[in-house]
Structure 1
């Protein structure tokens, strides 16, 4: 937990304590139709029996919903907002807090220590926070902070000017520090019955700030860290090793656990990615994807709290439609996942390589781009060999460019096998006069290779936005389509926009149950990302103009060369035109129907999520962020 968060929760509990009230939960059996026992904290649930023990006012606040739209206390067409007449009173929040056993947190912006207008003001703490601001761990460990504050609304950033403004902005007003299923159910029912916006946060890693929302009640699942290795799991037509993960487990945690028990798990490239949260629900590409598919493909069962507050097991046999939708159709859309069961694999060796080359005295601009082209030309062969590469191409000045391989991650390749794979490319680079020094190391396990290859993410920039595209295999199948692809990428970098990209594929493995992951993933050979930026003094109007130029003109060139493809929703442009097609493809119509069925009151909203076109955020700065009322279109 972030510094001060525990204290906030304790203080709030004391302030809101009301005599005569107690938590609302009941212990249930550990059995689950998923084929593995519930975690201990999953057996603490809100049940009809528990509701029956509450008084009438309490039951009205946290009673279960049904499957038809109901009338809530929302403010007309908008979610109830702080300051509205319908906003819950102090005593109502007190009641909720006691039903939650004191788990309710009144959120304070992470950077409040930098502002004299906040009781938390402390210049020494501010200095420490400022030094750590780009570390993803501190944002993950806070109940409301997100890793991309631009999309929260930049309402409280670290500063040396203590007299400047800091507000709660687009961060959730309250959060529930979840330690059992009953607390999720209580929060879901309370938000639905009171007409309040609800957001779900594990780490806050999503590029578009999906876990933020002004005036929201947040469900913070970050501390649900349980893991269990299931050596002989049997379920959903699968017999073999699997792992059960709580919703708060992050990539570095499951990889370390896998090394301890001798298996390989499919998880994110970034260290602080929440594996069982929005990552897997949005599809989830991985350093093992070229060999094993997406993270969503591995999921065999999920435990889920639905929008009506009911806790259900979702598998191929139970709720098959939700089983399809949850695995790739987006987080914060159909329910709140408390745990997943995913198949795992034997230990695997990896060769990890880093190197770079640049224009210079002996490398002309044309030679440099010929070297990059030579690499791009080999994407089908490299992906089909099961490898994954993470690389950058950037402009470093007028007619000056650099290429960074950081790293080439050759899963299931010894050093000699890796060298044989890349020898044709290396030879061509040498023939172009491009000199480089590859640093290649073989590891006999995934964990050590991953630790060496992927540094901790740098986050929290408020002066940039990203956009992406999944470039399909068809762009490599004719000379014309490959030339168009290469020229589009070159023009992007030449114009001063960086290219960060992954050479990979993500086909659904043979025999696996189909899911709702973006169909564009199944055809891709490159997941490419670029970004635009501005300064701290740029006006909101000028920022929006830059965003629009980036969306329409810069990324427009990428869409033009693969108009039928798409983009990865978790690492994307929040302004993506026709996001339904880009992020969900042909699955969107069915996903939207399931959204209406399982969330008839539109409790769950996330920007660019399924059904989000029915809502708009009235942001106070005119930018596409979450700092404003959520209202129906």
Structure 2
């Protein structure tokens, strides 16, 4: 039964109705997906050829489905740079009004989150500005906005909180419009509209990606954050799996899936960050987890997906229906092959966890050499700890001249009682004691994952514009081969003594036996440490000074890391945007196949993401010369 309101007459007639009529252009379709479970209610509202036929030709031309029979290079050369506001081919206001009408009023014209701080904006409000300023580093603030991203450095720093109301606030690299998605038809309409109108398209749930994949100047954003549907499936069955599963909407975050898991008594593989979106860029990029040492990456858990393709069609993707796309979507990167509206993921039995936090530091009784011997003793035990199924999140911080602190925050010992945890770490703790390092571990057992995770991992601090991070996946050989280990440890010590912090995860992420292969970075499969470091600059630094600092960090800090394991790579969602040869670093031996599939499923070049598959065919002409998204997107 059609749920659409038929649009008739001229374009003018269509949008004059928009104030009083819900114009959602959609049909209700059968409720069961080809994945063998019901669609979410949001997925039963789809754009169909029948729905499009209700429009006249002047209207439907903006929303027609595409075909996939042209080569990418020809299509890119025909379309040229993506349109920006003010361009001759930028859609006129009445076209945006028509678009909003057929969306059912879901179109949002972007206002920067900090516009309330600037008298030049009608949204100026001192109280609101004070709220935004005080909460700018809180990830929840940015997740709940249709255009804001966690790291505004990559948007272009065009509108930052300023309680003095001085300076400029411009749209910069934020998307110009966003669709507040509540159903599949809206995604299809947005995909078709962007493709036909030659608009840049970005997809955002929370905006967590370290490189700003969900922002872009002049873009149309698809904001999936409110697609929060969740279903527990006690007995899911496919050709290769039979057991419990969960179906998650594209807007579901870690805290939400973990709360459901706790309620129903299962364990899900999701991120450690509280506000990270699970069913979007996280699993599409691989996604490491506190459960990874046992069950692998988040991408490995996926059994089926519902996806809107670049041609606007809505499809179910399983290992049987489309093995190539099923492989590529699981780990091949977000914003690349299509827009996932939901994921069916396998889940696992309830587990107990011992959570432990402790620290030690240099001081009157602990020399610098003793401190680093204590860190060295820990790193020699990475293989044993990861093989025991544990996941550790730790910092090593330079705190002054010849002063250092080690923070375990936390050691997440899955399937370990406190006694078992103590037995596991005893060899290390004995070494610390022999070095004169006294620690007092705060260890507590939880009989479920959720309780330990909620107590163990802090809310993410975001929003910095004076900080740049980079990372590396250090393989098992670097900790088991004595020569490689010595080189690796000396390199990391040099990083710390030069003033750069080390944030790292001791874990493994092997593909579990019997799981289908996927496109996740092969470097994950033999890694025992995902390590992150950073550089910073003064808030008054010029663009040229910032770029110099970025390049020095890339070459002088991360360069030596790469030399210790040149065949390895980095986790794309938490990596340096300037990573040389990103194809090898983020995708490894999978890249050639992924690139070929990109041409098949997106011959239009509609889905662009920085460092994504095929992104080398495009360039952002940023207005400040920095590697951000504040500029026109053009084919190379």
Secondary structure of the corresponding residue to residue 491 of structure 1: helix
Q: Which residue of 2 aligns with 1:324?
A: 327
Secondary structure of the corresponding residue to residue 62 of structure 1: coil
1:79 aligns with 2:114: no
Q: Which residue of 2 aligns with 1:65?
A: 66
Of 73-82 and 449-458, the range deviating more from structure 2: 73-82
**Matched residues, number:** 621
Secondary structure of the corresponding residue to residue 391 of structure 1: strand
Q: Which residue of 1 aligns with 2:202?
A: 199
- TM-score of the pair, normalised by structure 1: 0.96
Q: Which residue of 1 aligns with 2:7?
A: none
Asked if 2 retains the 8 angstrom alpha-carbon contact of 1:72 and 1:193, the reply is no
Q: 1:601 to 1:76 in 2, by over 3 A?
A: closer
Asked if 2 retains the 8 angstrom alpha-carbon contact of 1:299 and 1:342, the reply is yes
| Partners of 2:601 and 2:35 in 1: CA distance | 20
Secondary structure of the corresponding residue to residue 502 of structure 1: strand
Q: Which residue of 2 aligns with 1:26?
A: 27
| Partners of 1:589 and 1:259 in 2: CA distance | 40
| Partners of 1:494 and 1:37 in 2: CA distance | 56
Shift of 1:20: 8.5
**Which runs of 4 or more aligned residues in structure 1 lie more than 6 Å from their structure 2 counterparts after TM superposition?**
13-16, 18-21, 70-75
Asked if 2 retains the 8 angstrom alpha-carbon contact of 1:197 and 1:630, the reply is yes
| Partners of 1:354 and 1:104 in 2: CA distance | 46
Asked if 1 retains the 8 angstrom alpha-carbon contact of 2:395 and 2:407, the reply is yes
1:134 aligns with 2:137: yes
Of 45-54 and 331-340, the range deviating more from structure 2: 45-54
Aligned runs of 1:468-617 on 2, under 5 Å?
A: 468-617=471-620
Asked if 1 retains the 8 angstrom alpha-carbon contact of 2:76 and 2:635, the reply is no
Secondary structure of the corresponding residue to residue 276 of structure 1: coil
Shift of 1:81: 1.0
Q: Which residue of 2 aligns with 1:56?
A: 57
| Partners of 1:74 and 1:187 in 2: CA distance | 22
Shift of 1:68: 2.3
CA RMSD in angstroms comes to: 1.5
Asked if 2 retains the 8 angstrom alpha-carbon contact of 1:389 and 1:409, the reply is yes
| Partners of 2:278 and 2:301 in 1: CA distance | 12
| Partners of 1:470 and 1:73 in 2: CA distance | 34
Asked if 1 retains the 8 angstrom alpha-carbon contact of 2:15 and 2:94, the reply is no
Q: Which residue of 1 aligns with 2:181?
A: 178
Q: 1:264 to 1:282 in 2, by over 3 A?
A: same
| Partners of 1:381 and 1:76 in 2: CA distance | 54
| Partners of 2:422 and 2:17 in 1: CA distance | 64
| Partners of 1:275 and 1:481 in 2: CA distance | 35
Shift of 1:482: 0.3
Q: 1:16 to 1:428 in 2, by over 3 A?
A: farther
Of 430-439 and 73-82, the range deviating more from structure 2: 73-82
Q: Which residue of 1 aligns with 2:343?
A: 340
Q: Which residue of 1 aligns with 2:368?
A: 365
| Partners of 1:152 and 1:79 in 2: CA distance | 17
Q: Which residue of 2 aligns with 1:255?
A: 258
Q: Which residue of 2 aligns with 1:8?
A: none
- TM-score of the pair, normalised by structure 2: 0.96
1:283 aligns with 2:286: yes
Q: 1:204 to 1:480 in 2, by over 3 A?
A: same
Aligned runs of 1:104-115 on 2, under 5 Å?
A: 104-115=107-118
Q: Which residue of 2 aligns with 1:9?
A: none
| Partners of 2:178 and 2:561 in 1: CA distance | 39
| Partners of 1:95 and 1:73 in 2: CA distance | 27
Asked if 2 retains the 8 angstrom alpha-carbon contact of 1:73 and 1:193, the reply is no
1:426 aligns with 2:429: yes
Q: 1:500 to 1:80 in 2, by over 3 A?
A: same
Shift of 1:163: 3.0
1:225 to 201, 218, 228: 228
Secondary structure of the corresponding residue to residue 584 of structure 1: helix
| Partners of 2:368 and 2:622 in 1: CA distance | 44
Asked if 1 retains the 8 angstrom alpha-carbon contact of 2:155 and 2:173, the reply is yes
Shift of 1:477: 2.5
| Partners of 1:30 and 1:485 in 2: CA distance | 54
Asked if 2 retains the 8 angstrom alpha-carbon contact of 1:74 and 1:80, the reply is no
| Partners of 1:358 and 1:234 in 2: CA distance | 52
Q: Which residue of 2 aligns with 1:152?
A: 155
Secondary structure of the corresponding residue to residue 487 of structure 2: helix
Of 620-629 and 72-81, the range deviating more from structure 2: 72-81
Aligned runs of 1:284-303 on 2, under 5 Å?
A: 284-303=287-306
Shift of 1:24: 1.1
Shift of 1:19: 8.2
Q: Deviations over 1:98-131 (max 9, x none)?
A: 0100000001000000001000001111011111
Asked if 2 retains the 8 angstrom alpha-carbon contact of 1:267 and 1:285, the reply is yes
| Partners of 2:166 and 2:126 in 1: CA distance | 12
Asked if 2 retains the 8 angstrom alpha-carbon contact of 1:72 and 1:194, the reply is no
Q: Which runs of 5+ in 1 are unaligned?
A: 1-12
Secondary structure of the corresponding residue to residue 275 of structure 1: coil
| Partners of 1:316 and 1:76 in 2: CA distance | 34
Asked if 1 retains the 8 angstrom alpha-carbon contact of 2:75 and 2:603, the reply is no
Shift of 1:297: 0.3
Q: Which runs of 5+ in 2 are unaligned?
A: 1-13
| Partners of 1:145 and 1:428 in 2: CA distance | 47
Secondary structure of the corresponding residue to residue 599 of structure 2: helix
Q: Which residue of 2 aligns with 1:411?
A: 414
